[in-house]
A and B are shown apart, each in its own frame.
Chain A
Amino acid sequence: MPPTIRMDEVSVTKQARRVLTDVSVTFEPGGVYSILGPSGAGKTTLLRLLNRLDEPTAGTLWLGDTPYAQLAAVTLRRRVAMVFQVPIVFPGSVRDNLLTPARLQPQQRVDSSDCVGLLALAGLGGAVLERDAASLSVGEKQRVCLARALMTHPEVLLLDEPTAALDPTATQRLIESIGDLNRRLGLTVIIVSHQPEQARTIGGRIILLVDGRIAEHATATQFFAGPVSQSGRDYLGRALAGAAS
């Protein structure tokens, strides 16, 4: 069972600008959360905090009953893995990429059959294993990054707009893979998106960030039936109108 992650009145200030303000939210084990919001709302910053790539200016993050600050960042990141918006593959083959986490921690035993299994979960066939990772399409690279993140056997998966660079077909396939991961591995999935329709497909819970504050926190059904706040209604209206045009 993955641990509960809690953010307790977390604020972030960068270069005198408030990026997040008093964010308090709990991510329950095995849940699927879509973080929505306009550009600059603080979505990526929130995800970076959860992976501890950044520190909050104020407030506390908790993994289970332990504050983030008391956990070794290296261990935490293996339990709470992150996939970035732009897929970053390392030089070498797909297999080299997948074995990177094992190389970083040589005492960790890695079964090479993991590579094939996790690639399949990420939606890629084992035939790509020996291919040069740099030669793959953007969509394939993103899947390699997803499978690579899974090699640490994380309990929580953070995805920062993973479909931003993908075409509609690749997007659909990746969304299906993410749903699969949640169901089959029981991972908590927290996904940043700027497409409300995608969040509706994924389901789970929606957290809407506007100007660094949580404007809405509801189930996908409740949110799409009608946001409670004015800023939520404005955002959804604009976003759906933009998608329709």
Chain B
Amino acid sequence: MSTQLIDPSWLQLGVAAGLMLVAIGLSAARGLGLERDLVIATLRTFVQLFAVGYVLGIVFSGANPGLIVGILLLMLGIAAWTVAGRQRRPTYALRVLVLGSLTVGCGVTLILATEIILRVQPWYNPYYLIPLMGMVIGNSLNSATLAVERLDSDLSSGRDQVEALLALGATSRQASAVQVRSAMKAAMIPIINSMMVVGLVSLPGMMTGQILGGSAPLIAIKYQVLLMYMIAFSTAVSAFLLTTLRARAYFTAAHQLRHEMLAG
């Protein structure tokens, strides 16, 4: 059996795009009204991925450490803006806080994984840093979104309980401990679920990609295990920082709940 990678031709990709025509046709037949979105999604997938591929081609061939770090920071910035943008009150302070939490969580993870565990050479080797960081940021982004949303909704719905604790002499940290815990839990559950079923229900994208790319399955699996641990670690660190620091924004220095921050 040949293990040589098949390079799909433009014609073959065009045939694959024909699958989207079927999806669009089904949407129209059922009156879903998703045809326009499907056309846009089809085009965006093509344009965005090829644009990134083009940029990665330049980055990988040039391998300039400043450029690599710049791209990693840009990825973090876009992730932070996305997380904050999905919230009810996407303030500048929230964007900065998310950026800081993700930078620490994902940054420490990447340094540990590439510089201490894998010891990649040179240290900025984009073949390792960019895909690993992309996977870690992508997962941390979802977790951070869940954490901020949960904290906001739990503090809003539990404001009476929080104030009852404050009235008993609790500090704002004590009064919001339940909500902070619940928000961090919400952030951690997706990665725990993924780790529980990985290999049984789902075959992760990176591992599949590596196997298709010709890697030995055992090496692909080792990378996938490393990646899962990286994601769990970065999610825990980012969510810990984010929920702890974000909860403070809901209180004044005199341990008063800032009602204008709450929903409803």
Contacts and interface: CB of A to CB of B under 8 A. Distances in A.
Given A88-B161, A90-B161, A104-B174, A53 B257 contact: yes
A76 to B, nearest CB: 8
Interface in B250-264: 252, 254-257
Interface stretch (A79-87, A112-120, A193-201): A79-87
A74 B256 contact: no
Most chain-A CB neighbours within 10 Å: which of B161, B166, B257?
B166
A84 B163 contact: yes
A81 B174 contact: no
Given A52-B256, A54-B256, A55-B256, A104 B169 contact: yes
Interface in A189-224: none
Interface size class of B (residues with CB under 8 A): 10 to 19
B104 interface: no
B160 interface: yes
Given A84-B163, A90-B161, A148 B254 contact: no
A73 B170 contact: no
The A interface is mostly helix, strand or loop, or mixed, namely mixed
Interface of B: 160-161, 163-171, 174, 252, 254-257
A145 B174 CA distance: 18
Contacts of A55: 252, 254, 256
A78 B168 CA distance: 6
Q: Which of A51, A74, A78, A149 has the most CB of B within 10 A?
A: A74
Contacts of B160: 84, 86, 88
Contacts of A148: 168
A167 to B, nearest CB: 22
A81 B170 contact: no
A77 B169 contact: yes
B74 to A, nearest CB: 40
A145 B160 CA distance: 13
A104 B175 CA distance: 9
B170 A82 contact: no
Interface in A8-66: 51-55
A149 B168 contact: yes
A75 B161 contact: no
Best-surrounded residue of B161, B166, B169, B256 (most CB of chain A within 10 A): B169
A105 interface: yes
Contacts of B167: 51, 53, 77, 81-82, 84, 149
B257 A74 contact: no
